[in-house]
Each structure stands twice: as structure tokens, then as C-alpha cells.
């Protein structure tokens, strides 16, 4: 492990020294190309942020709807329980409509 650390340290120092020596020569190139590249990266980041923010707002709205539905179901169940009525919490839909029709035919 000591060999790896020492090799990495020497490599890091050599790269740092080269960067320090080449910085004055590369400054014009970096300023000419670096600013537009950085601006493009910021624009891309802003687009990503806005898309994520919009998606999060959609998910938050869906969660709020789900919570509201659950609260209504819970209140309905509690009201039915206090009145001694059986509760039926399954939402009405095509599959449940068939079950309800079957229950109605068996009861008749």
C-alpha cells in the first residue's frame, strides 16, 4: 500500500508542476474555449434543474391527491363504523363493477 500511495503522490506532484508551468501558455486557449464551454454546462444544468423541478411538482401533486383520497376513505370508513354499516373501500372500476354485479345477482 505504501508503494501505491507514494506512486500516486509523485504522479500528483508531477501533474501539478506541469499544470503550473503550462498555465501561462494555456491561459488564452482556456479563456477562449473555457468560457463558452462553462456557459454551455451551466445552461445544461439549468435545463436539467427545471425539468427535475417540474417532475417533482407533478409527483407532489399526485401524492397530495393520493393523501386526499385516503383521508376521504378513512373518514367514510369511520362514519360507517360509528353508524354500524359495513364498509366497502374498494374503488369503483371495471373489475369491481363485475364483483358488485355478481353480488347483486346472488342477493336477488
Given a cut of 50, is residue 1 above it in pLDDT? no
Q: Which set of grid coordinates corresponds to residue 80? A: 360507517
User: Model confidence over 75-87: pLDDT tens digits?
Assistant: 999 999 998 765 5
Would you list the DSSP string of 32-91? HHHHHHHHHHHHHHHHHHHHHHHHHHHHHHHHHHHHHHHHHHHHHHHHHHHHTPPP--SP
User: Model confidence over 26-39: pLDDT tens digits?
Assistant: 777 777 777 888 88
User: Model confidence over 30-69: pLDDT tens digits?
Assistant: 777 778 888 889 999 999 999 999 999 999 999 999 999 9
How much is the pLDDT for 108? 46
Residue found by looking up cell 391527491 in the block: 65
pTM for this entry: 0.43
How much is the pLDDT for 25? 79
Amino acid at each position: 500500500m505504501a508503494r501505491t500511495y507514494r506512486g500516486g503522490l509523485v504522479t500528483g506532484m508531477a501533474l501539478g508542476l506541469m499544470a503550473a508551468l503550462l498555465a501561462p501558455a494555456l491561459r488564452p486557449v482556456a479563456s477562449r474555449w473555457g468560457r463558452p464551454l462553462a456557459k454551455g454546462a451551466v445552461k445544461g444544468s439549468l435545463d436539467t434543474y427545471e425539468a427535475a423541478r417540474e417532475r417533482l411538482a407533478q409527483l407532489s401533486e399526485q401524492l397530495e391527491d393520493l393523501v386526499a383520497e385516503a383521508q376521504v376513505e378513512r373518514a367514510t370508513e369511520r362514519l360507517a363504523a360509528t353508524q354500524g354499516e359495513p364498509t366497502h373501500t374498494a374503488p369503483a372500476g371495471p373489475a369491481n363493477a363485475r364483483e358488485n354485479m355478481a353480488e347483486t345477482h346472488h342477493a336477488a
